[in-house]
């Protein structure tokens, strides 16, 4: 796994290094297009003007947002472009704090790009604190209408490195229809009470690498929706947040399979969940397979290892009908640390489609609460066991 990760990231770095050497022009939004770092003048038009000129260039190009603090109302940066392009953000770009400024759930959008880089050490600040406490995302559609900080739509061969996304009003990053896109030394920063602010959400994308990344947020640190294929999450520090999640799956018709997920060398601290796979009961049919969770440290984590095919938040579903998502070839290896809940391992699979090929190897998770030691619960699954099993595998009644 490590070899695959290194080759993928190194090849992208080599690509962008060679691109940088070939650059013929730099499009500075301040020097060339009159942008002002005064937090009042909208960066939108200077940025779009720079983007248009750079995108038309037949030589590799770089757009620079210099140090300073800028207001950006909204920007959709569209491709395809004629040559590789880099957006170097050195400053802080701020969204309008008032959510009524947005007619659509978009703030910064990257569309249909190939050989694209975002770098520079800068910050995208969604100024979401004004929205988190106003409505309950669970019971209404308010959250769905809020802007996502960064959207990557149908982007290929991309590297997003040394960038921070802060205080998004909704998801921080949404990756849709992308291929070979890497997040390296990426940072997500939001408080625990920030509602519906998933760090990086992936859907219908292939070849996504998230490496050496720090995610602090109020929802899933990384979430994988349907159609996520060949995803590597390596060296991620998560917490606060809801953990690293596959799903929830099966809520909508014609969802695409999830296949080839590797989560390794991650540390989760004070999160609501650890590594989990979740699907709805009474779901539409689908599959999720070939998933490895390995070398993971849990520090005071709720539900450290969780398969939940009865995922039913707010009790708004039919638990009498089983999930129709088939789960297979799932390994949990060398997962250790402490649980904040007694149920450290919970594998609740579908009664209609029991899980197949589940493996527990070298599990060592302790719980020191008043109820007693950590427990392990299983339903509709017979996992293959090897190495240490603490708690004793599947020892609690389902």
According to DSSP, the residues that pair with 266 across neighbouring strands are 296
- Cis amide linkage into residue 274, ω under 30° from 0: no
Active site residue ranges: 242
Greatest distance between any 2 Cα atoms in the chain: 68
Residues 6+ apart with CB under 8 A from 80: 112, 113, 114
């Amino acid at each position: 796994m490590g070899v695959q990760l290194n080759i993928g990231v190194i090849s992208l770095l080599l690509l962008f290094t060679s691109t940088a050497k070939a650059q013929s022009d730099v499009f500075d939004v301040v020097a060339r297009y009159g942008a002002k770092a005064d937090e009042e003048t909208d960066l939108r038009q200077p940025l779009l003007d720079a983007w248009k000129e750079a995108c038309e260039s037949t030589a590799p190009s770089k757009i620079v947002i210099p140090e300073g603090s800028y207001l950006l109302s909204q920007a959709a940066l569209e491709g395809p472009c004629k040559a590789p392009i880099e957006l170097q953000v050195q400053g802080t770009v701020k969204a309008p704090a008032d959510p009524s400024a947005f007619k659509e759930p978009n703030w910064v959008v990257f569309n249909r790009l190939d050989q694209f880089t975002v770098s520079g050490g800068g910050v995208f600040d969604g100024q979401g604190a004004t929205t988190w406490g106003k409505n309950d995302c669970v019971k209404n559609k308010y959250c769905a209408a809020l802007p996502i900080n960064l959207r990557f739509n149908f982007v290929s061969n991309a590297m997003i490195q040394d960038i921070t996304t802060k205080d998004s009003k909704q998801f921080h990053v949404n990756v849709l229809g992308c291929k070979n896109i890497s997040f390296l030394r990426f940072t997500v920063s939001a408080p625990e009470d920030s509602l519906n602010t998933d760090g990086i959400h992936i859907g219908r994308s292939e070849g996504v690498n998230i490496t050496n990344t720090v995610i602090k947020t109020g929802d899933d640190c990384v979430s994988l929706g349907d159609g996520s294929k060949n995803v590597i999450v390596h060296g991620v520090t998560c917490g606060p947040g809801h953990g690293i999640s596959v799903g929830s799956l099966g809520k909508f018709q014609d969802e695409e399979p999830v296949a080839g997920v590797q989560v390794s060398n991650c540390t989760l601290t004070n999160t609501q969940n650890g590594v989990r796979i979740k699907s709805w009961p009474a779901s539409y049919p689908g599959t999720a397979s070939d998933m490895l969770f390995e070398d993971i440290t849990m520090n005071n984590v709720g539900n450290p290892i969780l398969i939940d095919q009865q995922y039913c938040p707010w009790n708004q579903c039919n638990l009498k009908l089983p999930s129709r998502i088939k789960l297979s070839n799932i390994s949990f290896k060398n997962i250790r640390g402490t649980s904040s809940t007694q149920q450290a391992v919970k594998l609740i699979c579908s009664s209609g489609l029991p899980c197949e090929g589940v493996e527990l190897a070298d599990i060592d998770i302790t719980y020191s609460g008043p109820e007693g030691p950590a427990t392990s619960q299983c339903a509709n699954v017979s996992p293959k066991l090897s190495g240490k099993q603490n708690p004793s595998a599947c020892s609690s009644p389902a």
